Amino acid sequence: MDTWYCKTLGDGVAASAPSRRIQQLFPPLYAASGQPSGMAVFARHDREANRVTAYFSPRAAELAALFGAEPCAKPPSDGIGLLVGDARSWAIFFPDRAQRRRTLATN
């Protein structure tokens, strides 16, 4: 169960409706799954291509299926944001980024 899923949501403006829908559908699925800290959806806005892509963690596969997301590689940590999910997801999936944040906070 290491498969990530991704779905292009559209350009910056068009992506807002599906982004909100993901945020609406996530809580009941999250609760029904026992609120796993590894269930999350991240998003990246590619400014050059002017498109937003959602990345569903492996534990969010059921939600990914609702949006027709396709299997993909785990995204790199740079340039993404947590669309919905437990904040602990950063440390679970991107420990290098979490470590960088701790280092910056202590300096």
pLDDT digits (tens, 9 = 90+) for 37-63: 899 999 999 888 889 999 999 999 999
Predicted confidence at residue 98, as pLDDT, reads 53
Tell me how far apart the alpha carbons of residues 107 and 79 are, in angstroms, rounded to a whole number. 22
Answer whether 0.75 is exceeded by the pTM. yes
**Sorting pLDDT into bands at 50, 70 and 90, what band is 1?**
low
DSSP 95: H
The model's confidence at residue 105, banded by pLDDT at 50, 70 and 90, is very low
* Whole-number Å distance between alpha carbons of 67 and 50: 20
In 13-94, alpha helices (H):
16-32, 61-66, 89-93
Q: Contact, 18 vs 64, CB < 8 A?
A: no
Contact call for residues 69 and 54 (beta carbons, < 8 A): yes
Q: 40: helix, coil or strand?
A: strand
